[in-house]
Amino acid sequence: MKTIISLLFIGIIISVSNAQDKIREKPYYIFFENNIDGMFKKAESNSDSSFYYTPNLNRGFWFGFQPIDEMQIISKQYFYSNHKNELKDIEWIRALIENRQDPLHGKRNIYIVEELGQDSVKLTRTKHFTVIE
């Protein structure tokens, strides 16, 4: 009986540890400019927008990002002073596709970053999917 209780306790500790690792998962911030360089935003029926990137409009392959949380608007200065080194762009996504890598699959901390005017950015937490036409 003690062995079963010990195993259950160890299982609970491992589960809690795995959950904490997912919470601490490294965020990916991806810069987005609608209708520029293979990027577009599509409004969905529930008024949310999904974001799409393609390295080549003739290729028929897209990275898609669907919102999973409400967006946040924060100061551009705050964002760039804290996350500038973590910000990715379309060239980063092109390199992933060319190298046939998909490090975004299953990640829960992917944020689409959109600049709003001169003073603020909009962050939208998303989940990643791929589209092949």
Total tally of structural domains belonging to the chain: 1
What does the pLDDT read at residue 19? 44
Q: What is the predicted pLDDT for the residue at 3?
A: 59
Which residues are within 8 A (CB) of 133 and not within 5 positions of it... i.e. 6 or more apart?
Answer: 60, 61, 62
What's the predicted TM-score (pTM) here?
0.73
The predicted pLDDT at position 32 comes to: 92
Among the listed residues 9, 49, 29, the one whose alpha carbon sits nearest the alpha carbon of residue 1: 9
| C-alpha closest to that of 88 among 65, 67, 66 | 65
User: How do the pLDDT tens digits run along the chain, 133 residues long?
Assistant: 555 554 445 555 555 444 444 456 788 899 998 888 888 888 766 667 889 888 777 767 788 898 988 889 999 999 999 998 889 888 887 787 777 666 777 778 899 999 998 899 999 999 888 877 7
6, part of any domain: no
Q: Is residue 11 part of a domain?
A: no
User: Is residue 92 assigned to a domain?
Assistant: yes
Residue 16 lies in a domain: no
CA angle 20, 22, 25 (to 5 degrees): 110
Task: Look at residue 119 in the predicted model and tell me its pLDDT.
Answer: 92
Q: What is the pLDDT of residue 124?
A: 92
pLDDT score for 18: 45
Euclidean distance between CA atoms 95 and 22, whole angstroms: 25
C-alpha closest to that of 89 among 131, 36, 128, 129: 36
Q: Which domain holds residue 100?
A: 41-56+66-129
Would you say 93 and 30 are in contact if contact means Cβ atoms under 8 Å apart?
Answer: yes
**Looking at the domain assignment, is residue 19 inside a domain?**
no
Q: Looking at the domain assignment, is residue 80 inside a domain?
A: yes
The count of residues in the chain is: 133
- What pLDDT, on the 0 to 100 scale, is given for residue 45? 60
